[in-house]
Chain A
Amino acid sequence: MQSWNGYLQEEIERMASRNAVVIFSKNTCCMCHAIKRLLCGMGVNPTVYELDDHNPTWQHALFSLLGSSSSSALPVVFIGGKLVGSMDSIMAAHINGTLVPLLKEAGALWL
């Protein structure tokens, strides 16, 4: 189990580095819907992986990546291959003005 989790974590990181903005979501999750609306509204075209309700191992792996300090809830966002966090982290970054530069740096936004 431990090694499988470890493998999943690596796989997640691999998936996250393939695109500028990667969102791990669930299609029944409304907060995931909110974060998609936020990023799309800003002009970002995120890559979204919808996790399976019936197979929670991916979620476990994700949350262990997040660490105990973050809330163990979807969505989880990677920008430029780096873990940013969940909705609260994204919103905090947007409000304090660091989100847009981060997106530009990752090539997700052009202006």
Chain B
Amino acid sequence: MASQGIGGTGLTDSGPSSHSHHNHNMPYAVYRGINPASTSFINQESSGFDFGELEEAFVLQGFKISNDEAKASLYAAAAATGKPAATLEMFPSWPMRFQQTPREKSKSREESTDSGSLSSRVQPHLEPESPISRKASSDHQQNTQEQQQQLQNMASNNPRTGGLQTELAASKSNSEKKKGAASTSERVLDPKTLRRLAQNREAAKKSRIRKKAYVQQLETSRMRLSQLEQELQRASSQGIFLGGGTTAGSNISSGAAIFDMEYSRWLDDDQRHMSELRTALQAHLSDGDLRLIVDGYIAHYDEIFCLKGVAAKSDVFHLITGMWTTPAERCFLWMGGFRPSELIKMLIGQLDPLTEQQVVGIYSLQQSSQQAEDALSQGLEQLQQSLIDTIATASLHDGMHHMALALGKLSNLEGFVRQADNLRQQTLHQLHRILTVRQAARCFLVIGEYYGRLRALSSLWLSRPRETLIADDNSCQ
């Protein structure tokens, strides 16, 4: 790993070449919060770098990055390595490493066409710094910062790569934020630094303006969305079927679309309830106050079961196939929702300390839930078998009759989803009864966080890097 800073005085240093090569064999990678040490294996070459190894690193480490960003940053690196600005040709083209936060990533995508200005995100987090920073903290970090400075400089002299500065600046600001920006005290304010500072200020201003515009856009979209929701409510009450509707061009019934909207609102509420629980627990509220909050959370769950009941009437398939959930949740779906006994199993370890009576109560709850689940599952199996038989025996003559029969049987699906939700609701209520107020508060927080993580897992999975990340321009993702 690199050890020393880039020579003594940063940009004006002359003769960093061979010396630096050995010191800056840092991998060039776009990633989030990665441990620096782990990427050192990626590239030991001094001139340019090996995309193959980089790709391998991505895949091996499973970073969450998007194709575009990765390419952008790689191109930036390539540009940096291939075409240094005239003033900086004394510096060899090493691979560089930088990091990005998710927020910065999305913003950088936005700003990719803004050439000639440094990324906004550098401000306001950026303290004016020079490549000469001699912070005692990790030299490695120093290198990163300094290299990024130089890279930015090179990039800024290269209009073609201007748009990619956003990546670099973002990472720069990120690493600064994370590691504590270099202090300005031992700075030598040379003209290059001054110019860079001025550019930073420029970029910051531009970024603030862009951010404002973006927020405006979000606001108007939000209003438009609520208007659409209202229209949808009106339309559904008139029984209109949405064709080519709201999800990715697939046909979705109005009942399902409405439920999806209400569910996403419920998820927002869930976040709110959870932070309320969290603060209440940390603030050590009285039991009475805490009880109100816990009761509120139970009511919040009652609400979703009620909504699901309505949705089951209009589109039971939407519920039972789990199209309203994220992929990871869908994978573990049981009869249109979570499996109560699994939830209790998950909770058992996290509810300590429990009295003996409570332990007995919880295990007994798990057992009765398991029995009820098995019974419902067997009932559903019988329904499926009966359906299969009905459809299979439909012949040319009485086909319609059999189809009518099958339709009738299908309508029983709603009953099973309702009973499953009923079971889920009863289980949560019983937990509430068994536990003390404080225990219940913690318990519901655990539940909320667990499902939050499961949902996050789905997002991470969907945006994980794929094998064709790098060289293939046509890779789809």
Binding site for B on A (CB under 8 A): 28-31, 33-35, 37-38, 41-42, 73, 87-88, 91-92, 94-97, 99
If A88-B422, A95-B430 touch, whether A31 touches B371 (CB-CB below 8 Å) is: no
Q: Which residues of B contact A41 (CB under 8 A)?
A: 371, 374-375
Report the minimal beta-carbon distance from A43 to chain B, rounded to whole angstroms: 11
Cα of A108 to Cα of B433 in the assembled complex, Å: 27
Binding site for A on B (CB under 8 A): 361, 364-365, 368-369, 371-372, 374-376, 378-380, 382-383, 386, 409, 412, 415-416, 418-419, 422-423, 426-427, 429-430, 433
Report the minimal beta-carbon distance from A17 to chain B, rounded to whole angstroms: 25
Cα of A81 to Cα of B415 in the assembled complex, Å: 26
Cα of A68 to Cα of B176 in the assembled complex, Å: 68
Report the minimal beta-carbon distance from A39 to chain B, rounded to whole angstroms: 8
Contact across chains for B375 and A34 when beta carbons are under 8 A apart = yes
Contact across chains for B416 and A31 when beta carbons are under 8 A apart = yes
Q: Which residues of B contact A88 (CB under 8 A)?
A: 418-419, 422
A28 to B, closest residue via Cβ? B386
Report the minimal beta-carbon distance from B357 to chain A, rounded to whole angstroms: 12
Cα of A95 to Cα of B434 in the assembled complex, Å: 12
Contact across chains for A96 and B374 when beta carbons are under 8 A apart = no
Cα of A34 to Cα of B423 in the assembled complex, Å: 13
Cα of A87 to Cα of B415 in the assembled complex, Å: 10
Q: Which residues of B contact A97 (CB under 8 A)?
A: 361, 364-365, 368, 430
Of the A-B pairs whose beta carbons lie under 8 Å apart in the complex, a sample of 24, sorted by A's number, is A33-B382, A34-B379, A34-B380, A34-B382, A34-B416, A35-B379, A37-B374, A37-B378, A41-B374, A41-B375, A42-B371, A87-B419, A91-B372, A91-B419, A91-B423, A91-B426, A94-B371, A94-B372, A95-B368, A95-B423, A95-B430, A96-B426, A97-B365, A99-B368
Report the minimal beta-carbon distance from B146 to chain A, rounded to whole angstroms: 63
Q: Which residues of A contact B372 (CB under 8 A)?
A: 38, 91, 94-95
Report the minimal beta-carbon distance from A109 to chain B, rounded to whole angstroms: 13
Q: Which residues of B contact A42 (CB under 8 A)?
A: 371
Cα of A41 to Cα of B377 in the assembled complex, Å: 13
Contact across chains for B422 and A92 when beta carbons are under 8 A apart = yes
- Given known contacts A34-B379, A34-B380, A38-B375, what 17 new A-B pairs fall within 8 Å (CB)? A30-B382, A30-B412, A30-B416, A31-B412, A33-B382, A34-B376, A34-B416, A37-B375, A41-B371, A42-B371, A87-B415, A88-B418, A88-B419, A92-B426, A94-B368, A95-B372, A95-B430
B431 to A, closest residue via Cβ? A95
Interface centre among A28, A31, A33 (most CB of B within 10 A): A31
Cα of A97 to Cα of B374 in the assembled complex, Å: 17
Q: Of the candidates A29, A30, A73, A91, which one forms a contact with B380 in the assembled complex, judged by CB atoms under 8 Å apart?
A: A30
